[in-house]
Amino acid sequence: MKSLNRLWLLPLLLGLSACSSVNHSSIMKPGQTSQKFSIERKQVLSADYLLYLPPDYAADSGRRWPLILFLHGAGERGSNIQLVTKHGPPKVAPQLTNFPFIVVSPQCPNGKIWSNDLLLALLEEIESRCAVDTRRVYLTGISMGGFGTWSLGLSHPEKFAAIAPICGGGEFITPLLADKKQLATLPVWAFHGAKDTVVPVTESERMVNLLKKLGAKEVKFTIYPNAGHECWNEPYAGRELYDWFLKHAR
């Protein structure tokens, strides 16, 4: 009886297989055809970050504060957020008197590089929570963060009043495809050490030259003749860069 049941099922299974084969072959025909792919996935964006608020900051005072988004280098990646205080604004902001900026310093996880989607989402979150002057948002970073500054700043020039990439570099395609009107009005001040053997100074030079060719109205470039890769102490420790930031608003 069981054998008869199996024999009865065999033609049905063969028929289903044939139908499946026919349906599949009707989609995949020889030659070039137009196809469409669509999938919905849930994306979770998260980051640890340091938030510096000026001494006289008060969210309910009605005053709006300029903001600096700082991107660290590859050496500060990980899960220890205090590594981010080694360099740049998160190091010097608590030490400088009358430092008038909110400073946001996220940490990139080990094995990763800066994600524009993550940084934009973080910036949006901070702007919703803190008393940020959205016309005066500035972007800067060192080494890997210098690359991140070029990438984020040139991909979204409308978001920033000015950017300052330090010992970084970028992709030519980013400014070439950016909104040229927004790009033209984005002030840029790049810094690099002439003796940098990690990221050659030519990486900054090529980006600066390209921006000028594309019509950027204000592009400054400072080369420290005797400095190597770690050339960021001078621009961050003094007041000149921060004063330059404050001269610009979107």
- pTM of the predicted model as reported, rounded to 2 decimal places: 0.86
Query: What pLDDT sits at residue 19?
Result: 47
How does strand 132-142 pair with strand 102-106?
A: unpaired
**Structural domains of the chain ordered from first start:** 49-246 (3.40.50.1820)
Higher pLDDT, 245 or 27: 245
Q: Predicted confidence band at 9 (pLDDT cuts at 50, 70, 90)?
A: low
Kindly tell me if the per-residue pLDDT of 132 is higher than 50. Answer: yes
Q: Estimate to the nearest angstrom the gap between the alpha carbon of 7 and the chain centroid.
A: 64
Q: Give the pLDDT band of residue 27 (cuts 50, 70, 90).
A: low
pLDDT digits (tens, 9 = 90+) for 158-204: 999 999 999 999 999 999 998 889 999 999 999 999 999 999 999 99
Contact 81, 50 (CB under 8 A): yes
Q: Tell me how far apart the alpha carbons of residues 48 and 59 are, in angstroms, rounded to a whole number.
A: 22
Residue 47 to residues 63, 117, 120, Cα–Cα distance (Å): 27, 12, 12
The answer to whether 175 and 183 are in contact (CB under 8 A) is: yes
